[in-house]
Amino acid sequence: MKGQGILMTVMALVCACSPQGEKEKYQSSRSNVVEVKSQVKEIDTGDVLIGNNSRMYLSSKHLIIADHRAYDKAIHLFDKSDFRPIASVGAIGQGPREITNLGAICVDDIKNKLYVMDHGKQKIFSYDVDSVMTMPDAYVHQTKARIKSNQFPSNPIYINDTLSYGRVIIPTSPGTFDQMIGKWNMMTGELQTIGEKHPEVKSKRSLIDVSVDRGIIAEVYIDNDLMNISDLDGNVLCYIYGPDWGKQGLATFGDVMITPNHILSTYSGGPWGRGRTEKIHVFDLKGNYQKTLNIGYHMLDCNYDTTHHRLYMVFDDEIQFGYLDLKGLI
């Protein structure tokens, strides 16, 4: 029954984005703005000091913050219910029990493990969360796999050991590159590029999210007001053009998140390199614009939590970390 439900969802999306259902959608205005700054709650990390280059990850029970400028331990676990610090692991250094160059973290909720990429040692380390919580200072990570190729997806979205999705850099000349979506086998290093290149985008720069349950990939462009929805093999179902499409020199979309009923993406609209990312555009799963949440703080990272139906955010602003409950908003 679950497989039939997924198939029906995918069929509905295909129909919605077929030529009869607008494979190309043009949105001339996104002006339904909801002010939510007063509803953003600060996350106090207590005695855990975290630098200004950090990323958030979520498991079913924990908020995980990776500190990419850490001098000591770089991975911090907090309880999602009350943000109580649980443990800090991942000592930075050259030693056998240390991380040399912290990369992305993949969360395996089924096995309750974290898979941490170390680009210095070209390895993927496995951290058992239960063991980390029991003995954080004595815990020794295990090597799960080696990074066997110079080509692997950045910020992989982990599905299982043999399937992750992510961005793949494709060199086009010395000093220039293009980008595709990649399907990656973490264990073997096998990489398959998928997706399409928009004919009017010379150098693709995009971010993605994947929902296996919904059978879709949402891809947003960071320097074009363009989003596309694809199936899980990268076949584009529809393109969505916003009011800033065709304008040069703008920072546009940022992090993109697929929720059970919506696609969310942070958005700037300001000058490239100088604009603030304070807004989140809300679309339905067919790409139809619904509303814009004005967060009111400059976001560096944003993640959706299915368990609590909320957003967790990293800011470069008067507060460093925060969350927004979405109940009643979407």
Give the pLDDT confidence score for residue 172 in this predicted structure: 76
Task: Supply 66's token pair.
Answer: 């990776």
Stated as kind and residue range, the H or E segment containing 2 is helix 2-16
Residue with tokens 């584009």, as numbered in its chain:
236
In the prediction, which pLDDT does 12 show? 43
Q: Please tell me the distance from the alpha carbon of residue 187 to that of residue 174, in angstroms, as a whole number.
A: 30
pLDDT of residue 47 exceeding 90: yes
pLDDT exceeds 50 at position 6: no
Q: What are the distances in angstroms from CA 26 to CA 241, 244, 293, 308?
A: 5, 11, 20, 33
Q: Beta-carbon neighbour count of residue 167 at 10 Å?
A: 19
108 contacts 115 by C-beta, under 8 angstroms? yes
pLDDT of residue 273: 84
Strands 253-258, 236-241: pairing is unpaired
In this structure, what is the dihedral angle of CA atoms 244, 209, 206, 39, given to the nearest 10 degrees?
A: 50
4: which residues sit within 8 A by CB, 6+ positions away? none
Q: Are 253 and 40 in contact (CB under 8 A)?
A: no
pTM, entire model: 0.91
Instruction: Say if residue 178 is exposed, middle or buried (CB neighbours under 10 Å; 0-12, 13-18, 19+).
Output: middle
pLDDT at 17: 59
Percent of the chain exceeding pLDDT 90 equals 82
Mean pLDDT of 262-267: 98
Q: Of 19-23, 104-108, 167-171, 192-196, where does mean pLDDT reach its minimum?
A: 19-23
Tell me the per-residue pLDDT of 197-243, one tens digit each, with 9 for 90 and over: 899 998 889 999 999 999 999 999 999 999 999 999 999 999 999 99
- Distance, in Å, from the CA atom of 313 to the CA atom of 55, rounded to the nearest integer, reads 9
Asked whether residue 20 carries a pLDDT value surpassing 60, the answer given is no
What average pLDDT does the segment 109-124 reach?
Answer: 95
Average pLDDT, the chain: 91
